[in-house]
Amino acid sequence: MEPEASVIVPIHNEARILRENIEYLSNHLEGRLPRHEIILCENGSSDDSKKIAMLLAEERENVRYLELPEANLSEALKAGFNYARSEKLVYFPVDLSVDAEFIHQSVLLLDVFDAVIGSKRLARDLDRRPPARRIASRAYHGMVRGLYDTEFTDTTCVKAFRRSKILELMDRIPTTSGIFETELLMEASSEGLYIVEVPVIVEEQRPSRTMLGRKIQTKLEDLLSARLNRVSTYVGLPLIVVGVILLMVLTAWKIQGNSMAGFSMPYTFLLSMLLVVSGFQILTFGLLSNLIMQIRAQISQVKRE
């Protein structure tokens, strides 16, 4: 019988907490969702995570094991979603930083919606992580809303999807993307999927193993790369407008002076021309980047096929 829900749990070097947390999660779901499966997606661990995950799959009927050779969260999510047997898919962290009640809540909501986003930013007191991480998250999602013109408040927390709606969309996004989860939600939104956000409390159960500075750098690079077309518009268009205005002012002064000679302010003229040319170059670069992103998505889909 098909499980009512498939819970995908990516694992990378989680030996210290793996058994205790998966046993807790399994026992919790037994009382709320008797027909469920937990898919442990081990990816590139160098500790005993693989061994523990395999033992859990042997000991518990509702736990399944999936192994990937390299550490890659995006690839683990793709593999887990494809491996799942249920129509309702839930991505959940192994550190249990979010209340497991989200799983039951999202499964019910998937009767109506195509996707459910758990958001730690729908209310002020939901994000209970250290201040530095809260500030970084606020800044990142501010950029996401500006660059993607979206109303989503959180794109990096827990999520749930209908399998039939999301698998094809996942294939359009390269697993090398550092903002895979964000791109996936933007793709789902652009395709018209029915999406709802629900509030979730996030509490840090352990210090992050990835340095915050490195995480910020990676996400910022990939976010700007993915939206270069919009960034180029924000930068290039104002340059063109300012340059054209300067040229119009200089031309008006020249006409009023009835002078047949060159502009009286040659350096200002050169600056205005430089602004216009630079603006057009930046806009052109943005258009080319948009074409490159489309080619990237097509290549990614071909590789999956």
Report the pLDDT value the prediction gives residue 79, as an integer from 0 to 100.
95
Find the helix packing angle between 49-59 and 18-32, rounded to 10°: 30
- Tens of pLDDT, residue by residue over 270-305, are 888 787 787 777 667 666 666 665 565 555 555 555
Report d(CA 50, CA 68) in Å as an integer. Answer: 10
Amino acid at 184: L
User: pTM of the predicted model, to two decimals?
Assistant: 0.76
Residue 214 has pLDDT above 90, yes or no: no
Report d(CA 293, CA 148) in Å as an integer. Answer: 14
Residue 239 has pLDDT above 70, yes or no: yes
Report the pLDDT value the prediction gives residue 92, as an integer from 0 to 100.
97
Write out the two tokens for 193: 């999927």
H or E element: which one contains 108? helix 101-109
Looking at the chain, which runs of residues are DSSP E strands? 5-11, 36-43, 63-68, 88-91, 115-119, 159-162, 195-199
Neighbours of 245 (CB within 10 A): 12
Mean pLDDT of 165-176: 87
Q: Which superfamily does 5-226 belong to? A: Spore Coat Polysaccharide Biosynthesis Protein SpsA; Chain A (3.90.550.10)
Report the pLDDT value the prediction gives residue 303, as an integer from 0 to 100.
54
Residue 49 DSSP class: H
DSSP assignment of 237-301, as one string? HHHHHHHHHHHHHHHHHHHHTT--SS-S-HHHHHHHHHHHHHHHHHHHHHHHHHHHHHHHHHHHH
- Tens of pLDDT, residue by residue over 184-207, are 999 999 999 999 999 999 998 877
Q: Output 72 or 206, whichever has higher pLDDT.
A: 72
With beta carbons less than 8 A apart as the criterion, state whether 25 and 38 touch. Answer: yes
Report the pLDDT value the prediction gives residue 174, as an integer from 0 to 100.
78
Neighbours of 166 (CB within 10 A): 21
Residue 113 DSSP class: -
Strand 5-11: give its sheet, edge to edge: 63-68, 36-43, 5-11, 88-91, 159-162, 115-119, 195-199
Q: Output 256 or 180, whichever has higher pLDDT.
A: 180
Report the pLDDT value the prediction gives residue 171, as an integer from 0 to 100.
86
- Tens of pLDDT, residue by residue over 258-274, are 554 555 667 777 888 78
Q: Output 207 or 65, whichever has higher pLDDT.
A: 65
Q: Output 52 or 125, whichever has higher pLDDT.
A: 52
